[in-house]
Structure 1
Amino acid sequence: MSCVFCDIVAGRAPARFVHQDEQVVAFHDIHPKAPVHVLVVPRVHVASLDHLGPEHEALVLHIIRLLPGLARRLGLAEGYRTVVNTGRGGGQIVDHLHLHLLGGFRHPGR
């Protein structure tokens, strides 16, 4: 079965990357739900949060530590939201663990 995120990680499918390192890639969502909507995707295929094991602890910590700096670089110093959808009932569409980083909302009068 083909995985679009594995194809992106391998360079077989296009993406607008904002970050790449040994463990993850981050790129703009093709169907953004916010002015800034980036997906942070592990290079290793893990289907969902439900499939994480002890061997993935360093990966999870890496992602968490990456987020604040990535958000600042994307102009989200005022705040951002992170979302992980898990399973079809939770809204997960691609069976490859990924985190949504969303922000850039403007709230008039605040």
Structure 2
Amino acid sequence: MADTIFSKIINREIDADIVYEDDQCLAFRDVNPQAPLHLLLIPKKPIEKLADAGADDQALLGHLMLKAGDIARAEGYGEAFRLVTNNGANVGQSVFHLHLHILAGRSFEWPPG
């Protein structure tokens, strides 16, 4: 996998407003927020997109999902948040390092997009 802006954030080559970090993942504020809360939660392991994750990534993916809820609660948004993961350029993925968008603080419509 090529270096991405996210790998550079993990390696502290680029500054970011980091709100959470552990040994497996990192969350930071999106520079172009689409909601009052818009965080990006990324695994430290380089995985280009969700479809590229393998069976050995199952625990990491579960960790990301649980941490998303913990982070939303820590940011004051309780149980009301949306998670978005784009898988591929045709659906809006622009950085090819798996990431979850944690969005909250406004109404969202269904279907999205």
Matches within 5 A, 1:1-110: 1-77=2-78, 79-105=80-106
Please state whether the residue corresponding to 1:46 is helix, strand or coil: coil
Q: How many aligned positions are there?
A: 107
Quote the offset at 1:78 in angstroms: 5.2
Q: Distance in 2 between matches of 1:34 and 1:7?
A: 24
Q: Which has the larger radius of gyration?
A: 1
TM-score w.r.t. length of structure 1: 0.92
- Aligned residues: percent identity? 36
Residue segments in structure 1 that go unaligned for 5+ positions in a row: none
Runs of 4+ in 1 over 2 A off after TM superposition: none
| Two-structure CA RMSD over aligned residues (Å) | 1.4
Residue segments in structure 2 that go unaligned for 5+ positions in a row: 109-113
TM-score w.r.t. length of structure 2: 0.90
Contact 1:80/1:103 (8 A) holds in 2:
yes
